[in-house]
Amino acid sequence: MMRQYELVERVTSYDPDANEDLLNRAYVYAMRAHGHQKRASGEAYFNHPLEVAAILTELKLDDATIAAALLHDVVEDTAATRQEIEEKFGHEIAELVDGLTKIKRLDLVTKEATQAENLRKLLVAISKDVRVLLVKLADRLHNMRTLEHVPPEKRLRIAQETMDIYAPLAGRMGMQNVRDELEDIAFKVLNPDAYATVKKRLDRLHEESGGALLEIEKALQAKFTENGIDAEVSGREKKAYSIWRKMERKHLSLGQLSDIFGFRVIVPSIEQCYLALGVVHRTWRAVPGRFKDYISTPKQNDYRSLHTTVIGPHHMRVEMQIRTRDMHEIAERGVAAHALYKDVTDPRKAMNGARVPAAESNAYRWLRHLVEMLSEGESPKEFLEHTKLELFHDQVFCFTPKGQLIALPKGATPIDFAYAVHTSIGDSCVGCRINGRHKPLATELENGDEVDIIRSEAQVPPAAWEGLAVTGKARSAIRRATRAAVRRQYAGLGREILDRLLAKSGKSLSENTLQAATPKLGHRNVEDALAAIGRGELAASDMLKAMGIEVKEAGARKKRSAAARPKSESEEGVPVRGAARGTALAISLETGAVPGERIVGILTPGQGITVYPIFAKALEKFDAEPERWIDLTWDAAAEDQRFPARIKVTIHNEVGALAQVAQTIGESGGNIDELQMVTRGVARDFFDLDILLEVHDLKHLNEIMAGLRARPLVSAIERATG
């Protein structure tokens, strides 16, 4: 266990002005508070906050953060209170400890809605003060290092949470070393066989290539010295999880990986970074397409470096990173390297020596932007989708015509680009030019593309764009715009219904009267009330009564039916319950629907309700529009009718197969309304039949399908899901 004076010496070694008294008091208080508590490993519990503090000294954090690390578990696990912490250590440290206490209670691998809400709380807590995140990451890192002492079930949950949330957060904060170690330990727990295989391969490669690596390192150092470049060269080996992820992403085997080893070159200045790159490329052949300049175009987490891959001695493919010492500090320590909370002595920047934050890093700015998204009222599912997209995607960098840099996830389209610039630009986008040439909006953007968005104020983003967009911001904005457009359509229909009813009474619609009546019916504004009338949720006659206008009920009902109902395809109609009177109903012919199975309706303004079985895939595209869903049930009158049901049948390509299918359906009392036959495969051994049947109910349909399965020339049969 690290002693008190050793911890203080660690902090003062990089921060001579650190408050030693604060550190000493926090050390003693935490040690006494945890007393004789033990961890799962059997060691004294106080060793855990001490190790967390030690990890943070490696990141060179300020004295307040180290003190908070020592105290981070006392409120949760001992008799200490937040008020007591504030009295003894001040408001700043009490706030940090309180934020960490709240985070500790969150479960980030629960069911989706709860996980999203807990993730919101986590991000809000760390956005208030980035040091909360730094302590939490150090806390998680030490817990992962001692994970073998935790019961297996809990171990898996912690490892999954680390892989899903904390490792990506560390990466987005630029703390690559922390991310690598978290991912590697989690990988070992979640997929032990894969970890063992990759580790074994790495160890063997290290034995086989150790001499060659030393030779390359010496050759590099000699070349730099020869060219007057003061460079520090060191070799490095990729982590097991990093290799595994690359194998999965690029569908490679272990034997196909040739860039497992790399070298880091640290030079005094940016100019020497490019000079060193020139020396490397003149000495060894560069691998095409593997050069990246993150100095001129930094990553969003502030990472800067030159990356290149060359074919070195012994025909080994070698990755190289070239950077300055300052760039290396940020690459290693991420947001912690920005010293956000150092004392500022410049009187123009601080009054009376007050502690103020330094310039905000891009990584932390990203976090604040993410938290700002919470205020837009997204559903838990949308928020979780957006956050995970932001955390996990690699990036491409594109430019506006004026030279503004826009960072997007890989696979992003001009639609994502437009919404990244501004939501209004995305909503009004009708086309784009990429590098001066007109391109489809579905085009995948590449690094360095210049994108010019073509706009029209009359444009409303179609719902189909959601399938083209990659970023959560674009998807959620498209959903909002689509919902708003549908709402406006319903409101227009509702206004038309009211106008017609009033016209019959010889009266006109008064906006003031309408606005005064809206709250009486429980709606926030006029548009909501009119949309409810258009959807059939609110009777127009009820609105008129709230406005103090009397209209005969029968006439109102008749008029509403005439105004709201499009012409039905069948005079007989679909016998279901749950739809408003006079609403046109039609069964989806993509799947059909029959009595005996659960059904739902999708309302389309001006067209009526389309009936789907609950398993229809077509329903997925309406997930973001719950206001269009109508809960329906079959009516007793359904017994005397026939209903459509689509089935898929695979038959052998033999004489009489089609006749067997038709005969079975006919003998069972079914009727074939449509039939399409498609050849399957080059060999033409099978045919796929798409059949639209007319049956009485689910029992009748099952009898027909059972009869078809019994036929020797029928290979497979299933219900069409759309």
Q: pLDDT per residue over 615-643, tens digit each?
A: 899 888 888 787 788 888 887 666 668 89
CB distance 46 to 30 below 8 Å: yes
pTM: 0.54
Catalytic position from the list 17, 76, 87, 248: 76
Q: Indicate whether 557 and 502 sit together in one domain.
A: yes
Q: Which of 274, 284, 333, 281 lies closest to 305, judged by CA?
A: 274
The CATH number of whichever domain residue 650 belongs to comes to 3.30.70.260
Residue 562: per-residue pLDDT: 36
Residue 50, pLDDT > 90, answer yes
Query: Among residues 595, 615, 639, which one ends one of the domains?
Result: 639
Q: Is residue 470 part of a domain?
A: no
Q: How far is CA 440 from CA 141, 147, 650, 654, in A?
A: 45, 50, 38, 45
Q: Indicate whether 507 and 613 sit together in one domain.
A: no
Q: Indicate whether 137 and 235 sit together in one domain.
A: no
Residue 540, pLDDT > 70, answer yes
Residue 476 sits at the vertex; the CA angle it makes with 445 and 491, to the nearest 5 degrees, is 130
Residue 201, pLDDT > 50, answer yes
- The per-residue pLDDT for range 504-531, each reduced to its tens digit, is 777 777 788 888 888 877 777 888 888 8
Residue 564, pLDDT > 50, answer no
Q: Is residue 445 part of a domain?
A: no
The CATH number of whichever domain residue 29 belongs to comes to 1.10.3210.10
Q: Indicate whether 163 and 269 sit together in one domain.
A: no
Mean pLDDT of 647-671: 85
Could you tell me how far CA 221 lies from the centroid of its own chain? 43
Q: Is residue 446 part of a domain?
A: no
Q: Which of 720, 525, 528 lies closest to 613, judged by CA?
A: 720
Q: Is residue 353 part of a domain?
A: no
Phi, psi of 686 (to 5 degrees): -135, 160
Residue 654, pLDDT > 90, answer no
Q: Indicate whether 169 and 52 sit together in one domain.
A: yes
Residue 238: per-residue pLDDT: 78
What is the tally of helices (H) and strands (E) in the chain? Answer: 27, 20
Residue 345, pLDDT > 50, answer no
Q: Indicate whether 153 and 181 sit together in one domain.
A: yes
Q: Indicate whether 522 and 534 sit together in one domain.
A: yes
Catalytic position from the list 77, 385, 496, 597: 77
Q: Indicate whether 62 and 85 sit together in one domain.
A: yes
- Which residue matches tokens 């956005």? 127
Q: Indicate whether 14 and 118 sit together in one domain.
A: yes
Mean pLDDT of 426-454: 89
Q: Is residue 674 part of a domain?
A: yes
Residue 386 sits at the vertex; the CA angle it makes with 96 and 142, to the nearest 5 degrees, is 40
Q: Is residue 17 part of a domain?
A: yes
Angle between helices 270-283 and 192-226 (to 10 degrees): 100
Q: Which of 340, 387, 390 lies closest to 361, judged by CA?
A: 340
Residue 285 exposure: Cα atoms within 13 Å on the Cβ side: 8
The CATH number of whichever domain residue 283 belongs to comes to 3.30.460.10
What is the C-alpha to C-alpha distance for residues 579 and 631, in angstroms, rounded to an integer?
Answer: 8
Query: Among residues 564, 591, 625, which one ends one of the domains?
Result: 564
Band the pLDDT of 249: cuts 50, 70, 90.
low
Query: Among residues 337, 365, 380, which one ends one of the domains?
Result: 337
Q: Indicate whether 672 and 594 sit together in one domain.
A: no
Q: Indicate whether 232 and 312 sit together in one domain.
A: yes
CB distance 204 to 257 below 8 Å: no
Q: Is 161 a catalytic residue?
A: no
Residue 372: per-residue pLDDT: 58
Residue 556: per-residue pLDDT: 39
Phi, psi of 205 (to 5 degrees): -60, -35
Q: Which residues contact 256 (CB under 8 A, 6 or more apart)?
A: none
Give the domain extent around 534: 480-564
DSSP for 491-529? Answer: HHHHHHHHHHHHHHTT----HHHHHHHGGGGT-SSHHHH
CB distance 127 to 161 below 8 Å: no
Residue 13, pLDDT > 50, answer yes
Band the pLDDT of 216: cuts 50, 70, 90.
confident
What three-state secondary structure class fits 412?
Answer: coil
Q: Is residue 343 part of a domain?
A: no
Residue 574: per-residue pLDDT: 79
Q: Is residue 371 part of a domain?
A: no
What is the C-alpha to C-alpha distance for residues 420 and 369, in angstroms, rounded to an integer?
Answer: 12
Range in 118-122, 129-133, 275-279 the model is least confident about: 118-122
Higher pLDDT, 538 or 294: 294
Q: Indicate whether 184 and 68 sit together in one domain.
A: yes
Number of structural domains found in the chain: 5
CA atoms 574, 576, 581, 587: torsion sign: negative
Q: Is 107 a catalytic residue?
A: no
> What percentage of the chain reaches a pLDDT higher than 70?
81
